[in-house]
A and B are shown apart, each in its own frame.
Chain A
């Protein structure tokens, strides 16, 4: 039944972007059209998959008809479809804004193939069922992401891109070593094999290697050194993709692996939480000190990744499933809100001509719509109700309180207060007028580039009201291991 030609939404989600990337590369003049069509088709495939998952809860497609452990299979459950939907929807809106934001023909020519390649990698991660394929996919992602970083062509961007590449290669190598050890131990690499394996010290060591590789890729403090420069110096659509989507892939793999192969020691879990708290504090402090708007937003990503790791830090079986859920909500919330914020920051930079926070209030041009979008995104990132970020934070703190982990509650609160502090630096620049030079000037507005981030920011706020259906969707197919 399952031959290569059978039309199946998972196969489509994997190969559509791949073919799109090739086509956009071959025909650079039609790149925008091809890119947009591919992204739309991809979202269609994800919608189809979501529809099927609602009925079936879990779907498995062996590629080419060969079942694991021999062949490769694609698998989807609620969590993976949620991640695909995040990628597809955010990707579509970022694509719209890229139409407007990328004015340089050369940037346009390379943006689309790279972004479609990135989409292939991301979709591959969310549908993958064995760790070697995950390795391949994270390499694809890294390749495309580094390309997107240097796309702006400035010297800072190239240097940041190089650093990012080194970090990425190192992370992938560590992951690959872990994969190799697992293969030596078990003789197979598919998830089912991992679940069935009996825990051993060697397996734990392999897991540790993979985890460190992932931490490097997701930029958890103190392995975050490459992120701020890379995300701050890319063009706005690229930054939105990097911060909103790319770091999520490594987080997702971490989440999956930890459900299949629970971390062996409570001390390790606590250590991860402590690193998360460190990221939350250090990222926030750096955001407080950042001189440029985009750099502030990038440091806020470092802090938010820390928050997500605090959600992961739940040992034993005490509310483990609850903590995965909180982490999943936070991942979705951050993906939407942060891409909105980067796009809005890019618009502000475009209109004002610079993004030096201290001087924002001197500008006579006030891109009010982009500023409003920035503020809406900040509401979700700070975690104020009724945004999706708030629901995520609520779940995190509820679980921590129930388990008696007061220290994580305190860390989360401190992080929240710091985020208010660093975002209000920006608001002050928006709202102060007494240092303005000259009369208030006209600004553009309601362009495609404004509409996309506004839509994302409004989604980040209003999806909080739909948290209950989102959660029950994510739990389809029991991705967190809680069997009925």
Chain B
């Protein structure tokens, strides 16, 4: 069917093969490292665009490789995968530029970019995994690749955070392994299939299927920072800014949310999951996480911690949209996968610039920073307003579809939840904007510029902020995330 059947493999390899080369480069070869980083990121973006074009035309990509009798390593590029790969390819390029600027002259750059590439490769693998077994492989790879990034600074605090991160994610990975084995034993396959693979099994093994749902979603919920498995995320904030940006926008939390999607839609099937009575509790748990994350965010003075709790809250929008079992809510969930990524990466890069350029790490120090760094703060403000859900920005589009989906699913409480959450978003974001733009910089703080913010640090958040405006403003244009989302939902709901 396809003229280049190995295209998904090539996309995986761009970042996977870059990684050992980057490791082997001597610390001093900065220019070559930059060239490889940017070259590979751009090559990947081009390949992803090509793949997206083909998949949009209905071309099917399916690569298999037998690992154990009956058990396959399988890569596929379905529209849902495309959604996630596009996000990771675009944001990889932008974050790479930002990281190069951020780590200029910093230590251990060879190690950093090696693991950074590996992390992106894992994300792509997660997106294209054609069965839960393959998903598991990349899911664990992601854990291993992100751990050295989290502890990059090598301080006692970073190592403590890394240890907590490792315990949470590896324990989650182990439970996912058990779940995958359980699925394999129960259904005889772990393939992702629209409509699910458990339809015939559930009548006979209802309880086993319910336990399996709890095990799988619980395991994925660790990375998706679903309450009560979210504690690692705010602690992992000691990581360098580009790592936090990547972790929150594409890599780790999204891998969890994306996995929940795959499991609900393509392992169980939305109807089966509903029939098992599992979607309503999941929606409730997502709702609790949304409110809990927002409440915790209000009390944080550390900017990155506030953003982290905001992520806990915002990522659960995706889970909520999946669990509502309505196609309209699903559109909101999938769109939010993209939208939240763009918004949050903007905010983390902006926070990184504040810390690097002005030494501002706390909300209480933010007075007047808007005048010191107008570009960065404009980007931050746009993303914050989008998070709150100001029309026509990206966050509004997600929330609009989620609310409609809630009505469609007969869950009126979702409207109240979204309004409440938006109010809380406003409570913790608006004071930051107020301080930045409408207060004067404290005398003691001004003038002590830490370092010059070059274009490599300034441009990326502005770029992503423009995307936040674009995906909201042109939501109905062809090839916008929202349009692609509708395409995906039509497949998952088998319409």
B151 interface residue per 8 A CB criterion: yes
A386–B178 contact, CB under 8 A? no
What's the Cα separation between A413 and B173 when bound, in Å?
Answer: 11
**Proximity bits, B364-386, A CB within 8 Å = 1, else 0:** 00000000000000000000000
Residue A409 at the chain B interface, CB threshold 8 Å: yes
Specify which of A379, A401, A432 is in contact with B154 (CB 8 Å cutoff). Answer: A432
Given contacts A391-B67, A397-B177, A434-B156, contact A465 B170 (CB under 8 A): no
A284 within 8 A of B: no
Give bound CA distance, A256 to B184, whole Å.
Answer: 30
Interface 0/1 of A356-372, CB less than 8 Å to B: 00000000000010001
A464 and B67 contact, CB distance less than 8 A? yes
Cβ A391 vs Cβ B68 within 8 A:
yes
B63 proximal to A (CB < 8 A): no
Q: Closest residue of chain B to A404, judged by CB?
A: B185
Give the residue of B137, B162, B163 whose beta carbon is less than 8 angstroms from that of A385. Answer: B137
With A397-B178, A417-B170, A431-B151 as contacts: A385 and B136 at CB distance below 8 Å = yes
* B159 touches A (CB below 8 Å): yes
Question: When the two chains form their complex, are residues B144 and A379 in contact, meaning their CB atoms are under 8 A apart?
Answer: yes
* Residue A384 is within 8 A (CB to CB) of chain B in the complex: yes
- Contact in complex: B73, A465 (CB < 8 Å): yes
> Does B181 lie within 8 Å of A428, measured CB to CB?
no
Q: Are A397 and B181 in contact (CB under 8 A)?
A: yes
User: Given contacts A409-B178, A467-B67, is CB(A398)–CB(B148) below 8 Å?
Assistant: no
Q: Which A residues lie within 8 Å of B111 (CB)?
A: 368
The complex places the Cα of A409 from the Cα of B185 at a distance, in Å, of 14
What is the bound-complex CA distance between A433 and B151, given in angstroms?
A: 10
B453 to chain A, nearest CB (A): 26
Cβ proximity bits B59-78 to A, threshold 8 Å, 1 near / 0 not: 00000011111000100000
**Residue numbers in A under 8 Å from B163 (CB-CB):** 424, 428
Does A468 interact with chain B (Cβ within 8 Å)? yes
Tell me which of B66, B73, B151, B181 has the highest count of chain A C-beta atoms within 10 A of its own C-beta. B181
B166 at the interface (CB under 8 A from A): yes
Cα separation A465 to B66 with both chains bound (whole Å): 8
Q: How far is the CB of A444 from chain B (nearest CB, A)?
A: 15
Interface 1/0 per residue, B70-91 and A, CB below 8 Å: 0001000000000000000000
Q: Which residues in chain B, 151-208, are within 8 Å of chain A measured between CB atoms?
A: 151, 154-156, 159, 162-163, 166-167, 170-171, 173-174, 177-178, 181-182, 184-185
Tell me whether A384 and B144 are in contact in the complex, defined as CB-CB below 8 angstroms, given that A394-B181, A397-B177 are known contacts. Answer: yes
A394 to B66, CA, bound (A): 15
Interface: A395 (CB within 8 A): yes
Residue among A386, A398, A440 making CB contact with B185, cutoff 8 Å: A398
Q: Is A261 interfacial (CB-CB < 8 Å)?
A: no
Name B156's closest neighbour in chain A (CB-CB). Answer: A434
Residues in B with CB closer than 8 Å to A440 are 107
User: Which of the residues A397, A465, A471 comes within 8 Å of B69, measured between beta carbons?
Assistant: A471
Given A394-B68, A395-B68, A434-B156, does the pair A385, B181 have CB atoms closer than 8 Å?
no
B154 and A413 within 8 A (CB): no
In Å, the complex CA distance between A471 and B156 comes to 44
Interface of B is mostly: helix
Q: Which residues of B contact A395 (CB under 8 A)?
A: 68
Please classify how large the interface on chain A is, using the bins under 10, 10 to 19, 20 to 34, 35 or more.
20 to 34
- On whether the beta carbons of A416 and B174 are closer than 8 Å, the reply is yes
Decide if A198 is an interface residue (CB 8 Å cutoff). no
For the complex, give the distance between the alpha carbons of A398 and B186 in Å: 11
Rounded to whole angstroms, the CA-CA distance of A127 and B107 in the bound complex is: 53
Dominant SS among interface residues on chain A = helix
Q: How far in angstroms is the closest Cβ of chain A from B190?
A: 12
Q: Which interface residue of A417, A465, A468 has the most chain B CB atoms within 10 A?
A: A468
Q: Return the contact of B140 from the options A384, A421, A431, A433 (Cβ within 8 A).
A: A384
Point out the residue from B73, B159, B170, B177 that lies within 8 Å of A420, measured CB to CB.
B170
B319 to chain A, nearest CB (A): 25
Q: How far is the CA of A417 from the CA of B111 in the complex (A)?
A: 26
Query: B141 contacts the other chain (Cβ, under 8 Å)?
Result: yes
Set of chain A residues within 8 Å of B155, measured between Cβ atoms: 432-434
Once A397-B178, A417-B171 are accepted as A-B contacts, the answer to whether A431 and B68 lie under 8 Å apart by CB is: no
In the assembled complex, the CB of A447 is this many whole angstroms from the nearest CB of chain B, namely 16
Question: Is A6's CB within 8 Å of the partner chain B?
Answer: no
A200 at the interface (CB under 8 A from B): no
- For residues 453 through 484 of chain A, which have their beta carbon under 8 Å from a beta carbon of chain B? 464-465, 467-468, 471
Q: Smallest distance from the beta carbon of A66 to chain B beta carbons, Å?
A: 40
Once A386-B67, A417-B171 are accepted as A-B contacts, the answer to whether A398 and B154 lie under 8 Å apart by CB is no
* CB of A482 to closest CB in B, whole Å: 13
A399 and B295 alpha carbons, distance in the complex (Å):
46
A397 to B182 CA separation, bound complex (whole angstroms): 10
A402 beta carbon closer than 8 Å to chain B: yes
Verify B166–A385 contact, CB threshold 8 A: no
Chain B residues 26-83 with CB under 8 Å of chain A are 65-69, 73
Q: In A263-305, which residues have CB < 8 Å from any B CB?
A: none
Q: How far is the CA of A58 from the CA of B66 in the complex (A)?
A: 26
A379 to B118: give the CA distance in the assembly, Å.
Answer: 15
Q: Which residues of B contact A468 (CB under 8 A)?
A: 66-69
Q: Are B159 and A465 in contact (CB under 8 A)?
A: no
Nearest-neighbour CB distance to chain A for B58, whole angstroms, equals 31
| B178 surroundings in chain A (CB, below 8 A) | 397, 409, 413
A368 to B182, CA, bound (A): 39
Q: Which residues of A contact B23 (CB under 8 A)?
A: 372
CB-based contact B185/A431 at 8 Å = no
Interface string of A427-457 (1 = CB under 8 A from B): 0100111110000100000000000000000
Q: Are A467 and B140 in contact (CB under 8 A)?
A: no
A384 to B107, CA, bound (A): 29
Interface string of B91-110 (1 = CB under 8 A from A): 00000000000000001000
Given contacts A385-B140, A385-B141, A417-B170, contact A401 B182 (CB under 8 A): yes
Given contacts A384-B140, A398-B185, A434-B154, 11 further A-B contacts (CB under 8 A): A384-B144, A386-B67, A394-B177, A401-B182, A402-B185, A424-B163, A428-B159, A465-B65, A467-B67, A467-B68, A468-B66
What are 30 A-to-B residue pairs whose CB atoms are below 8 Å? Answer: A372-B23, A379-B144, A384-B140, A384-B144, A384-B173, A385-B137, A385-B141, A391-B67, A395-B68, A397-B177, A397-B181, A398-B181, A398-B185, A401-B181, A402-B185, A417-B171, A424-B166, A432-B155, A432-B156, A432-B159, A433-B155, A434-B155, A435-B156, A440-B107, A464-B67, A465-B73, A468-B66, A468-B67, A468-B69, A471-B68
Q: Which B residues lie at the A interface, using CB under 8 A?
A: 23, 65-69, 73, 107, 111, 136-137, 140-141, 144, 148, 151, 154-156, 159, 162-163, 166-167, 170-171, 173-174, 177-178, 181-182, 184-185
Which 3 A-B residue pairings sit nearest by Cβ, starting from the closest? A433-B154, A385-B137, A434-B155
